[in-house]
Structure 1
Amino acid sequence: MWKPEACIFDLDGVIVETSDAHFKAWQRLAESLGISFGEEFNEQLKGVSRRKSIEKILALEDRQLPEEEIQRLMDKKNGWYQDSIAELTPDDILEGVPEFLTSLQQMEIPLGIGSSSKNAPYIIDYLQLNDTFGVIIDGNKVDNTKPDPEVFLKGTKALNADPSKTIVFEDAASGVDAANNGGMISVGVGSQEYLGDANLVISDFVGLTPQKLFSQLNEK
């Protein structure tokens, strides 16, 4: 049976759901600036860096701010977000994910995290998954954000894997694009509507085995 040389996972929305914490923090920030911010617009911020997210929010009202104010706002949003994620425990790992990761480990497939979030190491620690992933490439380690493939290419290099034989799991369109741009095998986790450019889209990991996934990819 074919199997990949490595598997790299986005974090938010794939391993654990922190999108609500992000949404509330961004909404609180936007409203402090007098800018209306809803859940539909929040979809555009998935997989996007903190700075680019601020720029997108300001663009809603055609606003510009000096660099020091942008930095202050980024720090404020991150403080609110960190307060929320500090309450995470292993019980917050999404259903089906622990079993899927354990099966991959039993198959001796190297695993990594590729996340735009600069908080990824904290979240992995709260979830007690430090021993699961051989590498964590996050927003602190890249210069270019998704859809640039840098985060995933650095992951494959650290795992000594061929990008074309690496599966990337993503819940954001920008992340799927990043995987595709890096020549990797992209698996979207979520809605076909948002993730249709992925090689394969799964709704979640519940009841999914690596063998079943690899078989589905082989049929593509």
Structure 2
Amino acid sequence: MKAFIFDLDGVITDTAEYHYLAWKALGEDLGIPFDRAFNETLKGVSRTESLERILRLGGRENDFSAEEKELLAIKKNEHYVSFISKITDADILPGIEVFLKELKEAGYKIGMASASKNAQTVTSQLGLLEAFDHIVDAATVIHSKPHPEVFLKAAEALRVDPKECVGIEDAVAGITAIHEAGMFAVGIGDPNVLTEADIVFENTARLTLEKLLVRI
């Protein structure tokens, strides 16, 4: 293996709560309340698809034009940006800084493949921009996860064959995208949920290069 490609949300930092609060605020504006269980179905998918799922939940999928839906997506992002403006390096998930340092010292290339259009901003606020050789976010791809495009673009930017890449994800859609890209898939979370991953760590604190190299 020559490169490691990370998802952002739920792997580098946990912005899932901010996404939830932002979508919840938009849902309330539209009269479509939903709970955390439904929010789980929005993880790892694009902003556009998340909006469609919320509208379907409320039976309002046909109430808005494409232009109006775009404005709703922008409004959600405005909610989200206001929440993430407070993110600092204290929000980096346990063990990630050490793991990134391990990879860098071992000579691996490091990339990011995020479904967030705010990946650059969040990574900068975390103080981790220099840790990544390249970041691909939702603003630069056509297809969202589980399509492999974002991971394939990251591998291309790193000039590494996808078969020589390890993808790290916390969402089922992300694991599917990694495998579709032909990469080794590492899951972060519940092994009963991330059943398609090649190896699963319950949390980032357990993620180490030594443990991974035994399995790859």
TM-score after normalising by structure 2:
0.96
| Aligned match of 2:91 | 92
| Aligned match of 1:115 | 114
Matches within 5 A, 1:23-62: 23-62=20-59
* Distance in 1 between residues matched to 2:120 and 2:207, nearest whole Å: 26
User: Superposition RMSD on alpha carbons, in Å?
Assistant: 1.0
* Distance in 2 between residues matched to 1:189 and 1:122, nearest whole Å: 23
**Secondary structure at the residue paired with 1:169?**
strand
Q: Conserved in 2, the CA contact under 8 Å of 1:100 and 1:205?
A: no
Q: What per-residue deviation string (whole Å, max 9, x for no partner) do you get for residues 103-122 of structure 1?
A: 00000100001001000000
* Distance in 2 between residues matched to 1:205 and 1:18, nearest whole Å: 14
| Aligned match of 2:18 | 21
* Distance in 1 between residues matched to 2:86 and 2:2, nearest whole Å: 34
**Which amino acid counterpart does residue 96 of structure 2 have in structure 1?**
V
Alpha carbons of 1:136 and 1:40: their partners in 2 closer, same or farther (altered >3 Å)? same
* Distance in 2 between residues matched to 1:201 and 1:209, nearest whole Å: 12
Q: Conserved in 1, the CA contact under 8 Å of 2:115 and 2:138?
A: yes
| Aligned match of 1:188 | 187
Q: Conserved in 2, the CA contact under 8 Å of 1:188 and 1:198?
A: yes
**Which amino acid counterpart does residue 25 of structure 2 have in structure 1?**
R
* Distance in 1 between residues matched to 2:210 and 2:134, nearest whole Å: 23
* Distance in 1 between residues matched to 2:87 and 2:21, nearest whole Å: 16
Aligned residues: 214
* Distance in 1 between residues matched to 2:106 and 2:84, nearest whole Å: 31
Q: What per-residue deviation string (whole Å, max 9, x for no partner) do you get for residues 168-198 of structure 1?
A: 0000100000001111100010111221111
Determine whether 1:135 maps to 2:134: yes
**Secondary structure at the residue paired with 2:44?**
coil
- Hey, which bits of structure 1, 4+ residues long, moved more than 2 A? none
| Aligned match of 2:156 | 157
* Distance in 1 between residues matched to 2:207 and 2:194, nearest whole Å: 18
**What's the CA shift for 1:200?**
0.7
Segment drifting more, 97-106 vs 196-205: 196-205
Matches within 5 A, 1:190-205: 190-205=189-204
**What's the CA shift for 1:207?**
4.7
Runs (5+) with no aligned partner, structure 1 = none
Runs (5+) with no aligned partner, structure 2 = none
**Secondary structure at the residue paired with 2:138?**
coil
Q: Conserved in 2, the CA contact under 8 Å of 1:7 and 1:111?
A: yes
| Aligned match of 2:210 | 211
* Distance in 2 between residues matched to 1:40 and 1:209, nearest whole Å: 30
Q: Conserved in 1, the CA contact under 8 Å of 2:201 and 2:207?
A: no
* Distance in 1 between residues matched to 2:213 and 2:83, nearest whole Å: 35
Segment drifting more, 198-207 vs 12-21: 198-207
